[in-house]
Amino acid sequence: MEKTEMTRRILQAKKSKGLSWAAIAGEVSMSPVWTASTALGENSATESIAHKLCAVLDLSDEVAEALQECPMKGNSVDGQVPTDPLIYRFYEIMAVYGTSIKEVIHEEFGDGIMSAIDFRLDIAREENPKGDRVKVVMSGKFLPYARW
């Protein structure tokens, strides 16, 4: 089964059962962002997690097998500037603040990158009298560049 078909079936089952990503994530003991990313084909699941997710959504072993396959990452944006307003704002944030973030990381850690492999991303609602805010916290292992 192709990842696109896997995602279609997962989203259809999620909708028909009226489940949130948080509820599904709770059932598989993973974070909502990671769970959604895996369901959208951007990450792979262990056999155990794949079968738990499929049990929650009443999906076949064929979907569980597709969940375990290593993905081609980044297909959701396909190298294009995103047009969805919410996703575009993250693109815009990196366009405006990306080099500043890089400068500050290099000052603090040295020449290297933040891992997207050993990584966490959490989203929370932050109440504010001017309107609730979206709080996004990224935490990735620092990987220094090798010199040889």
Question: What HEC string does 9-56 produce?
Answer: HHHHHHHHHCCCHHHHHHHHCCCHHHHHHHHCCCCCCCHHHHHHHHHH
Active site residue 5: no
pLDDT in tens, 88-116: 999 899 888 888 899 899 999 999 999 99
Active site residue 42: no
Active site residue 89: yes
Catalytic residue from among 5, 47, 92, 103: 92
The whole-angstrom separation of Cα 118 and Cα 114 is: 9
Catalytic residue from among 29, 47, 89, 139: 89
pLDDT in tens, 14-56: 999 999 999 999 999 999 999 999 999 989 999 999 999 999 9
Q: Which CATH superfamily is domain 3-68 in?
A: lambda repressor-like DNA-binding domains (1.10.260.40)
Domain boundaries, the chain: 3-68, 85-144
**Class (C level, CATH) for 85-144:** alpha beta
Catalytic residue from among 29, 60, 115, 139: 115
The whole-angstrom separation of Cα 141 and Cα 114 is: 6
